[in-house]
């Protein structure tokens, strides 16, 4: 889950990556909201839950894959490889 965002009109936005998490959050919001209302003496607080898909992360396993990944990040690695005559 991402850090909650406080928006105008006492609205708190919660972002999650799956609809299952949204269902679980919805179940827990009623007691949480009751506690916040009483503790903060603010009965205008509302929650909104948004489901946002995340990018799949790229995993790098092999030596050549790691080298190509680092070369994408910093092309100067190729210069180092040639200068020191390094092999993969």
Residue-wise pLDDT for 34-66, tens only, equals 999 999 999 999 999 999 877 767 778 888 888
Indicate the pTM of the whole model: 0.57
CA distances (Å), 48 to each of 18, 21, 29, 37, 67, in order? 14, 13, 10, 16, 43
What residues does each domain of the chain span? 5-51, 58-88
């Amino acid at each position: 889950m991402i850090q909650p965002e406080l928006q105008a009109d006492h609205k708190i936005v919660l972002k999650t990556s799956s609809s299952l998490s949204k269902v679980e959050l919805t179940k827990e919001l009623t007691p949480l909201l009751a506690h916040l209302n009483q503790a903060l003496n603010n009965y205008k607080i509302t929650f909104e839950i948004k489901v946002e898909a995340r990018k799949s992360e790229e995993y790098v396993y092999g030596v050549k894959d790691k080298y190509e990944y680092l070369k994408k990040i910093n092309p100067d690695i190729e210069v180092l490889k040639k200068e020191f005559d390094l092999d993969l």
